[in-house]
């Protein structure tokens, strides 16, 4: 029978992250007793929306996204989030 080490108490997620980044979980967890779990009722964390944009704007986004080597939809989300954060900072 294996003797597993006791998992320490963590004061923060950062401390826990650092711990698991430098330790082997097989010394702490008996995976032979694990059970498969299915989360069937989880909803996606994103919602699809439709937005009409001028073709030239999409073309410019694609050029910028290509320079950053990311999908243009991801770049649009980044730009939108940056602007929303900026607007909230101004409102405060």
Tell me the C-alpha distance between 1 and 80, whole Å. 55
pTM (2 d.p.): 0.50
Q: Which residues contact 71 (CB under 8 A, 6 or more apart)?
A: 65
Task: Tell which residue, 54, 51, 53, 70, has the closest CA to residue 62.
Answer: 70
Residues 53-74, mean pLDDT to the nearest whole number? 96
In this prediction, residue 44 carries a pLDDT of: 74
Cβ atoms 31, 59 nearer than 8 A: no
Question: Does the pLDDT at position 82 exceed 70?
Answer: yes
Alpha helices in 1-92, H assignment, sequence order: 13-22, 55-68, 72-91
Give me the residue label for tokens 């999908």. 71
For the stretch 14-47, pLDDT in tens is 999 999 999 999 999 998 888 888 887 887 788 8
User: Under a CB-based contact definition with an 8 Å cutoff, are residues 62 and 72 in contact?
Assistant: yes
Which three-class secondary structure state does DSSP give residue 38? coil
CB–CB of 79/85 below 8 Å?
Answer: no
Percent of the chain at pLDDT > 90 equals: 71
């Amino acid at each position: 029978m294996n003797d597993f080490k006791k998992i320490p108490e963590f004061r923060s997620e950062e401390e826990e992250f650092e711990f698991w980044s430098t330790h082997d979980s097989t010394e702490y967890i008996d995976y032979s007793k694990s059970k498969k779990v299915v989360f069937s009722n989880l909803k996606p964390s994103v919602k699809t929306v439709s937005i009409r944009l001028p073709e030239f704007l999409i073309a410019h986004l694609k050029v910028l996204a290509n320079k950053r080597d990311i999908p243009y939809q991801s770049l649009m989300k980044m730009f939108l989030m940056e602007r929303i954060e900026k607007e909230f900072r101004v409102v405060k």
